[in-house]
Structure 1
Amino acid sequence: MEIVTVDELKKKIEENEDFQLVDVRETFEYETSNINGENIPLANILLEKDKISKDKPVIIHCRSGKRSAQAVKLLEGQGFSNLANLEGGIIAWRDQFDPDMIVY
């Protein structure tokens, strides 16, 4: 499984790279705090897989990296080969860049 660090993600955002960011946390978690990814909760990931690009890199994240790792495995089983898991999830993002961010 490919891993992306929060530093690598921040660089991709700052350089306006063409990629998709998917947040697999529950909607209430996403509404509390997010980093502008598309919210597709893990429970719906296979039902909503058509919302996930196959034509560009996709970084999947959650709170800590565990649910997003599950999402990557599920999607890879469906033929996706362009996925990466955000190491440490939004907690790592908060710790590195936004200490005031509330993470549910």
Structure 2
Amino acid sequence: MPLHDDLTAAQRSLDELVRSLGLLEERLGSGLEVRRVRTDAGHLRESLALLRAAVPAARPASGPDLVTISDTPYDTALWSSAASSATDDYVDDEGIGARDRHAP
């Protein structure tokens, strides 16, 4: 989940907490305990607002640059050491394997 979505979910949860505190205050009255919890919820609201401000604006997600690979067959000369100025080990050095050897 992106960070922006996490912050939005936290904000929604905090809003629900404040709404629930309002319902509790209606049932219990505005005693010391209810005021303390309301004050704590207010501090959480301020802290979350500061946190939102500290997080850079959401940028659109950009994936890696895509490289198009052609479906046309490769030139077989690419796999022969004669096509390069290197020695006969050229093809083997590239991890393709030598012509006279086979996989186990």
TM-score by length of 2: 0.23
- Higher Cα radius of gyration: 2
TM-score by length of 1: 0.23
Higher strand share: 1
Q: Which has the higher contact order (CA 8 A, sep 6+)?
A: 1
Higher helix share: 2
